[in-house]
Structure 1
Amino acid sequence: MANPVPCKLAGFLCKAVDELMSLIGRTVSPHSLRVFEAAARHLSFTAAARELRSTQSAVSQQVRAMEEQLGMALFERIYRGVRLTDAGQALFVAVQEGFGTIERTLDRLQRQHRHPRLNILTDFALAAYWLMPRLPHFRQRHPAIDVRIMTNQGVFDWQDQDVDVAIMFSDEQGLAGVPRLFAESVLPVCSPAFLERHGPIDSLSRLREVPLLALMTDQGQPWLDWPTYFRQRGGMACAQTSELTFNNYTLLVQAALVGQGVALGWQGLIDELLASGALVGLDDLALATPQGYGLIDTRPHESSAAKQAFMDWVMAGATTPL
């Protein structure tokens, strides 16, 4: 069984803190709290006076006036020093926590002002194939902005995360009122060597017969999968039996590059691989949907020059090739 004495003391302290903080809001100045904090930390009015570049008598008078304002003793005057009462100890803890929070916040704000930081949330595919190749251009234009990339392959939820901007793939409803980076346009892609072995692949019925590389959608992701592609493209089922499945788009693209099968390639992400010839697109089998990537200001009530610069740069990059 718990010792009742500490429990009673904890209850008393909590009640004392509540009472003190209520009173402080009306009667005690920030300067008085600073004097009290220094005296409580040193347990000496003389040492507090040295720190504050004041006198022992001035500190003693300030503390006495504060006690009179609050209607309770904060220190016990003992021989050659002072010690905190229970109420004084409770206030000391609260004041230190408050001052600590203020100092940390000021430090963070100053660092952000000198060297602003942006946390960007997106998925693996866009981060690897669109954002990262372009990011050096942004860094050259804004070298003082610290950009941090966070990736999530599932359904995005930034409510409990430290995120400033999200680049999210979504359906039409999710993109309502959001600047659109680019719409979803997909086409089957494979390596030149794979096409030479298995080609020509010029129809949906032929496409169903070759190894297909798939990206998982088990967390409710809205992007196209093979069954949806075949259904929307030709109204037929995907009767594939030798499919390889990945939970990461970069792995899926790598599998396509080394000739393991045909993947769905999102235009805007795999353009450079198509342009270089590393992948071949089956253009006749392309499909466009109303879905796509949108640019989301996750903290619209918090404006900053760094965030606006990044968002402007992203939207400009949507129409500018590398």
Structure 2
Amino acid sequence: MLFSERLPPVQSLVVFEAAARHLSFTGAARELGTTQSAVSQQVRALETQLELSLFTRVYRGVELTEEGRILKLAVEEGFHRIAAALEQLQFRRQHQRLDVATDFALAAYWLMPRLPSFRALHPEVDVRLVTSQNWTPADAQEVDVAIAFFGQPPWVAGTQLLFAETVFPICSPAFLADLGELQAPDELADVPLLGLRSAQGAGWLDWSRVMASLGAARVPGEPVLTFDNYTLLIQAALSGQGVGLGWGTLVDDLIERGLLVAMHQFTVSTEGGYFLIEPKPHEPVNAKRHFIQWLLDTQQTDDSKGVPLAR
């Protein structure tokens, strides 16, 4: 049997709940913006339909019968649950959650400094960052958008290159002043190098591959410091502890602010880079569409600024 066949009209339940709460048809009429006689007629019609007596008429008001008290509790619970559900739905409409996956380096050095501009444009979207250094394409199904690093273009549906891989040595201005300008790639083998463990930079260029790409005849020595986190490597470079490898996009802001200097004469570019992955491209989610458009617009704005030169 359908609910519409089992339940009385919703309006009659609204009128009943108000009358039961006030224990007064007049009070209910005042709340509902109607007349006392209209409330009385609605209640009488409800009692007739249910074949129950819900109120006992007393001097200057009414009292609930046992059946009326049971119905009042049920109606109040039902209305409260409906109100809570509507409030939750309104919150979800006004605050859409977006899960974005990327690695620690991009989150710290590119995304976080720019995220306030997206939030200013779309305050209704709550962004949740999911960061991992060992992210795989299989993990994409758990998020709305992913920005992942690949050493070469991935064979993953729904991807597009966001930031091409451009790598060059970086260090602090003070460290470069003590070191002096380097002219040939072979000279890099003589400077204190900062390294990243291969497990944490899977697919990223390392010193051996960079120097080989530059045509150096010598091989680099062991790094004086090796890290399992790119953000720690950057901190070591900032504090003047050696020369690290800088990825354009990740370190451009630090170079522009004069905190790091880039040796662009030793730049290596590949077909890899950070790729934008949309795991469910046909899913029409406004928050996702807004975020992807903002990413592309911001990337174009960054590109228009050009690459900062070594200082």
TM-score clears 0.5: yes
Question: CA 1:159–1:178 in structure 2 vs 1: closer, same or farther (change >3 Å)?
Answer: closer
Counterpart among 125, 134, 149 of residue 114 in structure 2:
134
- Aligned pair count? 241
Query: Could you give the per-residue CA deviations for residues 164-185 of structure 1, whole angstroms, max 9, x where no partner exists?
Result: 1101111213477522211001
Q: Judge conservation of contact 2:200–2:228 (CA < 8 Å) in 1.
A: no
Does 2:92 align with 1:112? Answer: yes
Say whether residues 1:122 and 2:122 are aligned partners.
no
- Match for residue 144 of structure 1 among 124, 128, 143: 124
Give 1:214 shift.
1.5
- Going from structure 1 to structure 2, the CA distance change for 1:222 and 1:175 (only over 3 Å counts) comes to farther
TM-score, reference length from structure 2: 0.66
Paired letter, 1:216: R
How many angstroms apart in 2 are the aligned matches of 1:150 and 1:127? 9
Asked whether the 8 Å contact 2:186–2:216 carries over to 1, the reply is no
Query: Could you tell me whether the CA contact under 8 Å between 1:273 and 1:279 is conserved in 2?
Result: yes
CA distance in 2, matches of 1:105, 1:121: 30
- Identify the residue that residue 302 of structure 1 maps to in structure 2: 283
Larger Rg: 2
In 1, the alpha carbon distance for the partners of 2:5 and 2:192 equals 76
1:236-315 paired onto structure 2 within 5 Å = 236=217, 238-315=219-296
The partner residue of 1:221 within 178, 196, 202 is 202
Give the Å deviation of 1:33.
11
1:193 corresponds to which letter in structure 2? A
Q: 1:153, CA displacement in angstroms?
A: 0.9
- Structure 1 contact 125–249 (Cα < 8 Å) conserved: yes
- Cα distance, 1:236 vs structure 2: 4.8
Aligned to 2:190, what secondary structure does the other structure show?
A: coil
Matched, 1:153 2:123: no
2:185 corresponds in structure 1 to 204
1:117: Cα distance to partner?
0.9
Output one character per residue of 1:214-262: Cα deviation in whole Å (capped at 9) or x when no partner: 2222167212122222222226563313431112111111100101111
Q: Is the 8 A contact 2:186 2:218 kept in 1?
A: no
Q: Which deviates the most, 257-266 or 216-225? A: 216-225
CA gap 1:159/1:312 in 2 versus in 1, 3 angstroms:
closer
Deviation at residue 105 of structure 1 after TM alignment: 9.2
- Cα distance in 1 between the residues matched to 2:153 and 2:197: 21
CA RMSD of aligned residues (A): 3.4
Please state how far the C-alpha of 1:150 moved relative to its aligned partner.
Answer: 1.4
